[in-house]
């Protein structure tokens, strides 16, 4: 009986977590590489990003179809920023430094959101 109740509780917690549409992630970015939030095929979302590493990261946005990346600022070590991202917009976090960058993400919204390295 206890195992059944535990299974029901865990299923409920997992459903609540995924239905809220919030993703939490910590990622490391090698030098001269980028971590990308989506390829521009999603709905709007909000990303809270904190630089928890020792290296500054460039933030770059690109609207789908424009092929013109636009510098959007930097995240220095210890800094935290909120980004409200419109539909069909790619956001890249580029490590131009020589060491390993480390970012903490909290992303809410954005159906079919892709995350990966470039």
In a domain, 14, yes or no: no
In a domain, 74, yes or no: yes
In a domain, 81, yes or no: yes
Instruction: Tell me the CATH number at 73.
Output: 2.60.120.430
Give the residue among 113, 101, 104 at the shortest CA–CA distance from 33: 101
| pLDDT, one tens digit for every residue, the chain (118 residues) | 444 433 333 334 333 334 457 788 899 999 999 998 876 667 788 999 999 999 999 999 988 777 788 898 999 999 999 999 888 888 899 999 899 999 999 988 866 666 778 7
Distance (Å, whole) CA 22 – CA 42 = 14
In a domain, 87, yes or no: yes
pLDDT at site 4 = 43
In a domain, 2, yes or no: no
In a domain, 35, yes or no: yes
Dihedral angle, C-alpha 95, 117, 72, 87, nearest 10 °? -170
If one counts the domains in the chain, the total is 1
pLDDT at site 118 = 78
CB contact at 8 A, 90 and 38: yes
In a domain, 5, yes or no: no
Domain assignment of residue 108, given as a range:
22-117
In a domain, 32, yes or no: yes
Distance (Å, whole) CA 48 – CA 28 = 16
**Helix (H, G, I), strand (E, B), or coil: what is residue 28?**
strand
Measured CA to CA in angstroms, residue 24 lies from 21, 51, 66, 73 at distances of 10, 14, 29, 22
- Number of residues written out for the chain: 118
pLDDT at site 111 = 67
């Amino acid at each position: 009986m206890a195992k059944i109740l535990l299974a029901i509780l865990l299923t409920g917690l997992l459903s609540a977590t995924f239905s809220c549409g919030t993703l939490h992630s910590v990622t490391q970015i090698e030098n001269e590489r980028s971590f990308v939030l989506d390829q521009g095929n999603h709905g709007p979302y909000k990303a809270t990003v904190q630089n928890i590493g020792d290296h500054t990261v460039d933030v770059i946005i690109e609207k789908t179809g424009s092929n013109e990346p636009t510098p959007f600022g930097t995240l220095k070590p210890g800094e935290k920023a909120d980004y409200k991202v419109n539909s069909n917009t790619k956001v890249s976090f580029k490590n131009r430094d020589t060491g390993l960058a480390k970012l903490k993400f909290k992303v809410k919204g954005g159906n079919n959101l892709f995350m990966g390295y470039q």
